[in-house]
Amino acid sequence: MKLIIALLLLGAATAHADDARCKAGIALAAKGDLPRAALYLDSCKDDDGLRVRNDVTHKLEATKLSHVTVSSLPDGLEGETDAMPGEKFTTPATIWAKAGTYKITVSGQTVEKTLAPHSRTSVIINVPKPAKPPKDGVVDFEDEPTEQEHKGPPAAVKHGTMMPKRYIQPSGPSGEQIDDPFALRSSDAVLAWRLGLRVTGGIADRTNADMHSSIGLAALAARPLDGPVMLTTRLDWAHRDLDTLGINVGFSYIALARRAVVVSAGAALRGEVHLQDKLDMMDVNRAGIGGALDLDVAVLALPLAFGLRAEQAFTELMPGVRNRAVLFEVGYDWR
């Protein structure tokens, strides 16, 4: 009876510790400290904790951070690593860190592991069991047993497996499964602006006028705001019926994120300055506003991007005349 009560108290204490650690992970996630949040959220069992853990994993997978899964023989040992100073973890655990070489220590056993950018790897540390202290024995030679002949083959010896239990009996997936997400970086992996250059070509026309060709250059920058939403800015020059300088500010949405490509769609408010003051012998408005829609495909294996863009002027170029254009773009990205 006492043993049962002790086991119940031990289970309650463990559950309380896991609950406190889960709450600490949720608080770290709210502060944007995603690598440490992921370490604490491994202990979550309730729906809220699992939802936050999946969201944190979602965001970390999109960063340039690497992760290493630390296992030990046996499981359940305490460890630490200079990839996350001051933090303790219980094996098995997943550590997120920048690329580099780190020391991982579990129960006094230390190994070094080098992480490449955006890599996935694992470490298994074999911790030998401590030797049992010798016991004092008593030998009595007064009544020695007589030798008995052993007949038959030796008894079979069973050897235990060296694989951790998590690999022998893996648990089923929990929570919502997310394919290669794309999200805001943590404070340990701050994403600078995504910068790019574009060469554009296409067709443009004016109200009640023939279509004509359009060529141009553009510089753009984008930065994640929250989840798949990004703030986008763009400065461009176009040679059409008039030479035009444009500045664009808007938002884009990550519609598809895979290891090979990222597809985004966006909308922006556009301001224009026309470098000529006359067209077809008529005065034109030197400035105006308009809108633009973009579809962008970034090839992650290469620093290349392709896009399709539509522009529509809201203000009149001349009385009753507005500009519009449909453009194809190709360019280079610094990611």
Range 168-188 average pLDDT: 53
pLDDT at res. 144: 59
Query: One-letter amino acid identity for 113?
Result: K
Query: Which residues 6+ apart lie within 8 Å of 97 measured at CB?
Result: 35, 65, 66, 67, 68, 81, 83, 84, 115, 188
What average pLDDT does the structure give for the chain? Answer: 81
Is this model's pTM higher than 0.85 or not?
A: no
The answer on pLDDT for 131 being more than 90 is: no
pLDDT at res. 185: 42
Of the chain, the percentage scoring pLDDT greater than 70 comes to 80
pLDDT at res. 7: 44
Query: Which residues 6+ apart lie within 8 Å of 156 measured at CB?
Result: none
CB 286 within 8 A of CB 271: no
Query: What does the buried/exposed string (b/e) look like for 168-196 if buried means 16 or more CB atoms within 10 Å of the residue's CB?
Result: eeeeeeeeeeeeebbbbbbebbebeebeb
